[in-house]
Amino acid sequence: MKEVFLVEPQARYQEAFGKMVEEYRASGENEYFDMYKEAINDFTGYIQKLKDNVKGCDGWVPSYTFWLTSSHDEILGVVRLRTSLDHEFVRKFAGHIGYDISPLSRRRGYGMTILKLALEKAARINLDKVLIMCDDDNIASQRIIENNGGVFESEIYKEETKKLRRYWITIGV
């Protein structure tokens, strides 16, 4: 596996981020493509929005976004770290941490790495326990979460046919 690390979103990664977004489009993963597509048309505005999210905006909890990158400036994945569960949607369906690995970077251990690094960031902002969720049919994410100390709590339906698994991870144990 390449040497990888988390970086804050910044302009120098515009081309690499665009490539990742296109990977989602090409693979038909519309949920992630829709999440990131605004970066294609207005990358500067997209970066500013992510910076503004740290303060919390539009009734949302403060959140940090980091990109998993390599020494070759590739964007391999994205992690979102929310500082609290003081929002109904976050508490029910998102949790403290959400992450994704780009389609062409999967099955290489980057999921384990991005979550491990996110937990380190969570510790730095004084979170001692985090809630993380994954789709019920996402076996890879279930293993990643469990291998990072996740303890299964329950299942919940996000939509009529979409079930999520909820896990808690105690940090620093």
- Proportion of the chain above pLDDT 70, given as a percent: 99
Alpha-carbon gap, residue 132 to 125, rounded angstroms: 16
For residue 104, give the DSSP letter.
Answer: G
Spatial CA neighbour of 64 closest among 80, 46, 43: 80
| pLDDT tens sequence across 81-97 | 999 999 999 999 999 99
The pLDDT score that the predictor gives to residue 15 is: 96
Q: State the architecture of 4-170 in CATH terms.
A: 3-Layer(aba) Sandwich (3.40)
At 8, which amino acid appears?
Answer: E
Cα 17–19–45 angle (5° rounding)?
Answer: 35
- Report pTM: 0.93
Predicted local confidence at residue 1, as pLDDT: 60
In this structure, which amino acid lies at residue 92? K
Average pLDDT score over the chain: 93
Is residue 173's pLDDT more than 60?
Answer: no
Q: How confident is the model at residue 60 (pLDDT cuts 50, 70, 90)?
A: confident
Q: Where are the domains of the chain?
A: 4-170
